Structure 1
Amino acid sequence: MIAKIISRLKDGDSTYNIASTYSSGEWFVILYERGFQILRGFIAKIFLLKTKGLCFKGRNVIIKHRSLFSSGRNLILDGNVFINALSENGISFGNNVTISRNCTLICTGVISHKGGVGITIGNNTGINSYCYLGGQGGIEIGDNVIIGPQVKIFSENHDFSDASIIIKNQGVTRLGVKIESDCWIGSGATILDGVILKKRTIVAAGSVVTKNFEENSLIGGVPAKLIKKI
């Protein structure tokens, strides 16, 4: 019954299935927590949080500049998530997006350099715990993307070419980051400004991605290199 309810919430996804066997006590704890998350989400929507359908909101979730934040159906924001949508285009999520505990999404690092493009995340994408997304130059993430814990994505870089000027006064470049649909970013990976990952790219845990890769690529290392096509 619970699988059918979740499937309906996930836009009628007929492939959704609960493979594990849970005891009644375990289901009670899960549903008890989700119930309070729905209640917090409902209260947040009263205070102008722009989401469609259900919103599951954990404890100590902070969303700054709510007018620049929007989401589709069934948003999950787990505990201690921090979102600052201050930018020209703000932050926009599709349906069934999950942001796990202790994640930070920020679009403006310093007031003198207001973020531009912001952050967009497609449908059915999950971002695991302790991730950092810096959307100053724009981060675009497609549908059905898996992002492991402690992943860092930077869409801005500091200029440092002039040795006569201290680095912090030389300004920044913003090329943006694009991660297309059906990618898997392994735990602890870092993706730097200007990177485009095509569909079905897998990034090995701990990698530092500094350049573009074509679709169906397994990449890894520091800096990341093509390991094989998949």
Structure 2
Amino acid sequence: MHVIIESVIRKLKNKPDYKFESNYNLRELFIILFNRTMQILRGTGSRLFFKKTNGLLFIGSRVVIDHAYQFTAGCNLIIEDNTYINALSLNGIMVKDNVSIARNCTLICTGVISQKGKGIIIGNNSGINAGTYLGGQGGIEIGDNVIIGPGVKIFSENHQFSDLNVNIKDQGVIRNGVCIKNNCWIGAGVTILAGVTIGEGSVIAAGSIVTKTVAPNSIVAGIPGRVMKKRTELPLPENPTYKVNLKIV
């Protein structure tokens, strides 16, 4: 059966070299197939409310998508259980092909009704891990083949607070978009603040707080995040099991 599943996934993802491990037993494969089938059934109903969809749509249980008419989904989008999405914004939310959004994520584009937000774009083959928060008020753009670890928080809006005579909540906000370029790995628990661009091919270590733009192919760690090394400085792997000794997660 694993051969059949592998063949189906290859076609869906358009990846001829996709490998599916053969050490699953029949019970495990049945549960996987049952859950995916249920997600497809939910997705079939949900897609009627979306702005645009392509291909299969997998929707978990207790998923809430407000203002779905501003949500565009590419092929094979997976949205897992307990995810909340609010697409109300100037540009809506656009998710491209082969994207997965894991359980308990929050994607929100407008914080207060008086100021409509900009929106969120997620590129091809990118994965958003569990418990991630994307605040797209000032705009968030995530490129292709990006790995977002669990518990990542991305903010594109800040409160103004310079006037001591006015409550902070009444001083308005400053919006500044966040851009994560292609082929980046954002480790678990990372926080990315408004106005930051993460250069292509960069790696952000777990728990880092990124406050400034990062050059391409950088390895960033710390609070605040600092460039520890460039990926171009790393030795080339001698075999496929080679691992760089960095705590990224």
- TM-score over 0.5 (shorter chain): yes
Structure 2 CA distance for aligned equivalents of residues 175 and 191 of structure 1: 12
- 1:30 partner SS: helix
Partner amino acid for 2:146?
Answer: V
Shift of 1:160: 1.3
The structure number with the bigger radius of gyration is 2
User: Structure 2-normalised TM-score?
Assistant: 0.89
- Change in CA separation of 1:169 and 1:47 when aligned onto 2, cut-off 3 Å: closer
Verify the 8 A CA contact 1:84 1:107 in the aligned structure 2. yes
Which whole-Å deviations, capped at 9, do the CAs of 1:120-158 have from their partners, x for residues lacking one?
000000001011000000000000000010000000011
Query: Is residue 2:92 matched to residue 1:90?
Result: yes
State the SS of the aligned residue for 1:53. coil
The normalised TM-score by structure 1 is: 0.96
Q: Which position in structure 2 is the counterpart of 1:118? A: 119
Work out the CA distance in 2 between the residues paired with 1:187 and 1:88.
30
Residue in structure 2 matching 1:77, options 66, 76, 79:
79
Match of 1:141 in 2: 142
Is the Cα contact below 8 Å between 1:48 and 1:66 reproduced in 2? yes
Q: Give unmatched runs, 5+ long, in structure 1.
A: none
Query: Is the 1:51–1:75 Cα contact (8 Å) retained in structure 2?
Result: no
**C-alpha distance in 2 between matches for 1:52 and 1:168:** 41
Question: Which position in structure 2 is the counterpart of 1:152?
Answer: 153
Q: Confirm or deny that 1:5 pairs with 2:8.
A: yes
Name the structure where strand makes up a greater proportion of residues.
Answer: 1
Give yes or no for contact 2:50–2:70 (8 Å, CA) kept in 1.
Answer: no
Match of 1:106 in 2: 108
> What one-letter code is carried by the residue in structure 1 that aligns with 2:21?
A
Q: Residues 49 and 69 of structure 2 are in contact (CA less than 8 Å); yes or no, is this contact kept in structure 1?
A: no
Identity of aligned residues (%): 56
What is the alpha-carbon distance in structure 2 between the residues aligned to residue 109 and residue 144 of structure 1?
Answer: 28
Partner amino acid, structure 1, of 2:135: G
CA contact (8 A) 1:121 1:140 kept: yes
Query: Does the Cα contact within 8 Å between 2:145 and 2:182 map onto a contact in 1?
Result: yes
Native 8 Å contact 1:155 1:175 kept in 2: yes
Q: Does 1:218 align with 2:219?
A: yes
Structure 1 residues 51-90: Cα deviation after superposition (integer angstroms, max 9, x where no partner)? 2110000001111111111111001010011000001111
How many Å separate the matches in 2 of 1:51 and 1:126? 18
